[in-house]
Amino acid sequence: MKQAEFLHTVMPFKDKLFRLAKRLLTSTEEAEDALQEVLLKLWVNKGKITAYRSVEAFAVTTTRNYCLDRLRSKQASNLKLAHSNYTDEASSLQRQVEARDSVSLMHKIMQGLPEQQKMVLQLRDVEQYEFEEIGDMLEMNPASVRVALSRARKAVREELIKKHNYGVG
């Protein structure tokens, strides 16, 4: 596989890999490092990746595994929880604060989910993958993906209801 063919194959989903890494590692710098490492692994194994039915699914799985390994390592204790906050210059300060609070709350709720539910929720609702694609990436059947997604959404919904009905905490 030549460089141009590799770029044509891998670059279209590079941003998805970055967003997945950022969701798991919560730090932009760590996500950039993870993406660089995954792309390097893909380049080193460029001769083998054409054997996979879906290069994108393989890359997502590689990214997920790298990030989870990173979180399990000793270096994970040095990772700082740093979420990006969405800013819109046209919105008021109050809207910016509300948006930060909402994003922060969602990150907090998602961190409390089991790993599988967190991954399914990220891949389906954020990245917009189909159930079959998620099943391939996470080595699950599509029915299990649907169940995990349903449970994750229910847990998020219950936490949001609890937060809005009973206040902070």
Question: Which CATH number belongs to the domain containing residue 131 in this structure?
Answer: 1.10.10.10
Q: Which of 19, 50, 78 is the last residue of a domain?
A: 78
Domain-ending residue, one of 33, 54, 78? 78
User: Is residue 85 domain-resident?
Assistant: no
Q: Which of residues 118 and 165 earns the better pLDDT score? A: 118
With respect to residue 30, please indicate whether it lies within any of the assigned structural domains. yes
Q: Is position 87 within any domain?
A: no
The whole domain housing 156 covers: 93-166
The alpha carbon of 29 is separated from its chain's Cα centroid by a whole number of angstroms, namely: 15
pLDDT in tens, 126-158: 888 899 989 988 899 999 999 999 999 999 888
Query: Model confidence at 166, in pLDDT bands (50, 70, 90)?
Result: low
Q: In the prediction, which pLDDT does 83 show?
A: 38
Looking at the domain assignment, is residue 67 inside a domain? yes
In a shared domain, residues 121 and 97: yes
127 lies in some domain: yes
Q: What is the pLDDT of residue 1?
A: 67
Instruction: Give per-residue pLDDT as tens, 21-63.
Output: 888 887 888 889 999 999 999 888 888 887 888 888 889 989 9
Cα three-residue angle 30-134-60, rounded to 5 degrees: 30
CATH number of the domain encompassing residue 9: 1.10.1740.10
Same domain, 110 and 160: yes
Model confidence, pTM: 0.52
Q: Which residues 6+ apart lie within 8 Å of 38 measured at CB? A: 17, 21, 59, 62, 63, 66
Residue 88 counted as domain residue: no
Domain stop point among 37, 53, 78: 78
Do 52 and 111 belong together in one domain? no
Residues 69 and 99 in one domain: no
Domain count, the chain: 2
